[in-house]
Structure 1
Amino acid sequence: MKKERIGELLRWYMREHKRGIWLVILLGAIYGSVFYLYNVPVEAVAYGTVLGVTFLLVMNVLWFWKFCRKHQKRMELLPGIEYAYRDMPEADTLAEKDYRQMVMDLGKSCYEHLMELENQEQESKEYYTIWVHQIKTPIAVMRMILQEEDTRQNRELLAELFRIEQYAEMALSYIRLESSESDFVIKEYNLDDIIRQAIRRYAPQFIRRKLHLVYESTEVKVLTDEKWLLFILEQIISNAVKYTPSGTITIRVTEDKKLSVEDTGIGIAPEDLPRIFEKGFTGYNGRNDKKATGLGLNLCRKAAEHLNIGIAVESKPGVGSCFTLDLKERQFNIE
């Protein structure tokens, strides 16, 4: 224990026992006066004083040590007090007993409320998870109906239906990322397979918006979670498609396992660039779009943190944006 900390505890100990200290001083003054008035020999007084002071010093050292131990015990319990309140040190005084009982009652009440909130949160997650899975059925049925006839109106409706499906899956991803249960399966995957899955899913959007896609197949293999890497890539491609009225989207993979998605869209304002991964932040482009949620890139960042994937962004307004995923193997941040 540091000297500064010991000094602080000593001040608190003396403050807590100041009445006893003043009582000892007062009694010493009274006995000293009586001995002086009755001409008691100095040697006898000095001998008794030395014995008394020595005894008091020894006892106070022991009491101070116990005082420090109890304080240390309380500090160890403090970080998890909502669960460890039952392990508080036993009381030595009536006041400590009263305070201990108050803390015990308060801790029990907080623990019950905490358990109730956790149960409610778990029930909400289960409800929304079931809802997202159930909503996929009518979406699939509507897609089949709209695909029966290839008209301009049906193509527009299919595009909006695709957006609904995106938002439903985004909600499910949000629930899974916020859950304490691990939803990650780490294996070695062929990166080309994952990229082609994302391209196939967004192919109708490329065609509808008449965007040119540039991609050369790769043989790079990565150690990752396929589902969540695909989710990150799809969100980045979705933004590229959304904010590229016309032009090209280029997907590249380098030998050092860096995956980039570059577009020739409207770009990101310099003042918005540092905040694009914040929850709910839509920026200037999102406010103009009126349909941005500010959740997609935030979920990308959270998933990337779990997989320890670095995300870098470069953008110039009117020129385009480039998102780069660093897929080099690192230690995963998965509980």
Structure 2
Amino acid sequence: MREPNKEKHGLTLRHFLRDRSLFLISFTGSFALVLLVIFLDMLRQRNYTGWDSLLYMLILVLAGLLTGLFWDYLRQKAFYRSVNSVLSDPKPDMEAITRIQRGITHEQQVLLQILQDQHMDFMSKLTQYRKQQDFHHDFTNQWVHQMKTPVSVIDLLIQQSKELQPAPQVQDLLQSIREENERITYGLEMMLHTARLDKFELDLHVKQLDLLQLVRRVVNRYKKACIRWSIYPKVTGDEQTVATDEKWLSFVLNQLVTNALKYSRDKPGNKQLLIAVEQAGQGCRLRVIDEGIGIAEQDQPRVFDPFFTGENGRLYPESTGMGLYLAKQICSRLGHRLELQSVPGEGTTVTIHFAANSLHRMPFLEDR
């Protein structure tokens, strides 16, 4: 399939003359034939006309032709200028077609009318699509919030049941229910943040945040899981303050810690989960280092692609391929840089780089 030509060509006098080249050639040929007929007729009648008269006739005809072409170009110059202004725009918006002035020739008017009709149809479909998207977004948020209530009730019932000191078999059953309930909670949180990502700037509250304290709060949420799977978390580093959004960054850290636990839990023996906050130039960085199964080398370039699970996705069917994608998207919009290194069989290191001026590098702030 041929790719469309993306090179933009403006409309100039050269293009104007080139588009009328067939007319100019046919006119010149016809006029040459007329001169030939006149010349042959004069030879037959032995009535000679000087070459200066013929040249004068040629100059008059060419002057009339050039005057007509010049007038035709002047009346279309405004149309050409409006088209060139659209072509010269490096990022033309959807309203660019409305900046083109009314065509002069019938062909221009018809073509412009077709483009305007298509633009109106496109805008109508776009408005309808946005309404559907807003409806889906609102429905998703409402549904997730409704599902959080029974999930919280299930967790509360499990806690109350353990206080009754049930039999060991019942305790194992309650533990399994808790694990499944935690998976539901994780899925709901991911679905909610995926829906909110489309309107990221409307759900943003940037402030100076103590990074080390936030890390400790996140790690404390997974103490029971760490004990269950013999994973020993360790938080190191000095106090570092960064400008970011606490809720969104907490979600990113939850994703990184959840991945570290999920891909470390089945390795035999004791494992360590290290989260280090370090000074890096004028900014700082946060590293999440696990001793899990790692990521295959051929999968590492695609770990931030949506829905990509790679070889580990075959070992862990609950993997969605959305965790690292969302983490990458959120960090990018917050002005942070997310990197990943992994050695298969040894572990994975995910690093978040916080620049000193990260707030000013947020894409939606640059567009304002």
Which TM-score applies when normalising by structure 1?
Answer: 0.88
Question: What residue in structure 1 maps to residue 227 of structure 2?
Answer: 207
Q: Is 2:27 the partner of 1:24?
A: yes
Letter in 2 for 1:307: L
Question: What residue in structure 2 maps to residue 160 of structure 1?
Answer: 180
Spell out, residue by residue over 1:98-140, the C-alpha distance to the aligned partner (whole angstroms, 9 max, x if none): 2222222222222211111111111111111111122111111
State the number of aligned residues.
331
Q: Residues 121, 80 of structure 1: CA spacing in aligned structure 2 closer, same or farther, 3 A cutoff?
A: farther
Question: What residue in structure 2 maps to residue 93 of structure 1?
Answer: 105
Distance 1:312 1:180 in 2: 21
- Unaligned ranges ≥5, structure 2: 1-7, 43-47, 163-170
Structure 1 residue 27 displacement after superposition = 4.2
- Identity fraction in percent: 27
Q: Is 2:286 the partner of 1:266?
A: no
Question: What residue in structure 2 maps to residue 250 of structure 1?
Answer: 274
Q: Is 2:42 the partner of 1:13?
A: no
Spell out, residue by residue over 1:213-260, the C-alpha distance to the aligned partner (whole angstroms, 9 max, x if none): 111363111111111111111100000000112411011111221111
- Unaligned ranges ≥5, structure 1: none
Distance 2:153 2:142 in 1: 18
Q: Is the Cα–Cα contact under 8 Å of residues 216 and 235 in structure 2 kept in the other structure?
A: no
Distance 1:26 1:102 in 2: 37
Equivalent residues in 2 for 1:165-184, closer than 5 Å: 165-179=185-199, 181-184=201-204
Distance 1:51 1:159 in 2: 96
Report the more deviating stretch, 85-94 or 125-134.
85-94
Spell out, residue by residue over 1:236-285, the C-alpha distance to the aligned partner (whole angstroms, 9 max, x if none): 00000001124110111112211111111111111111111111111111
Spell out, residue by residue over 1:48-74, the C-alpha distance to the aligned partner (whole angstroms, 9 max, x if none): 433443454465456457667634533
Query: How large is the RMSD of aligned CA atoms in angstroms?
Result: 2.7
Q: Is 2:4 the partner of 1:33?
A: no
Counterpart of 2:322 (choices 295, 298, 310) is 295
Distance 1:63 1:202 in 2: 77
Equivalent residues in 2 for 1:1-335, closer than 5 Å: 12-33=15-36, 35-36=38-39, 37-38=41-42, 39-54=48-63, 56-57=65-66, 60=69, 63-64=72-73, 70-71=79-80, 73-74=82-83, 76-77=85-86, 80=92, 82-150=94-162, 151-179=171-199, 181-216=201-236, 218-245=238-265, 246-256=270-280, 257-329=284-356, 330=358, 331-335=360-364
Structure 1 residue 25 displacement after superposition = 1.3
Distance 1:307 1:116 in 2: 30
Letter in 2 for 1:123: F
Structure 1 residue 81 displacement after superposition = 6.9
Q: Residues 93, 64 of structure 1: CA spacing in aligned structure 2 closer, same or farther, 3 A cutoff?
A: closer
Q: Is the Cα–Cα contact under 8 Å of residues 83 and 111 in structure 1 kept in the other structure?
A: no
Spell out, residue by residue over 1:286-308, the C-alpha distance to the aligned partner (whole angstroms, 9 max, x if none): 21111100000000010111122
Distance 1:99 1:109 in 2: 15
Which TM-score applies when normalising by structure 2?
Answer: 0.81
Q: Residues 68, 163 of structure 1: CA spacing in aligned structure 2 closer, same or farther, 3 A cutoff?
A: farther
Structure 1 residue 210 displacement after superposition = 2.6
SS of equivalent residue, structure 1 residue 283? coil
Distance 1:194 1:203 in 2: 15
Q: Residues 243, 121 of structure 1: CA spacing in aligned structure 2 closer, same or farther, 3 A cutoff?
A: same
Q: Is the Cα–Cα contact under 8 Å of residues 291 and 348 in structure 2 kept in the other structure?
A: yes
Q: Is the Cα–Cα contact under 8 Å of residues 141 and 195 in structure 2 kept in the other structure?
A: yes
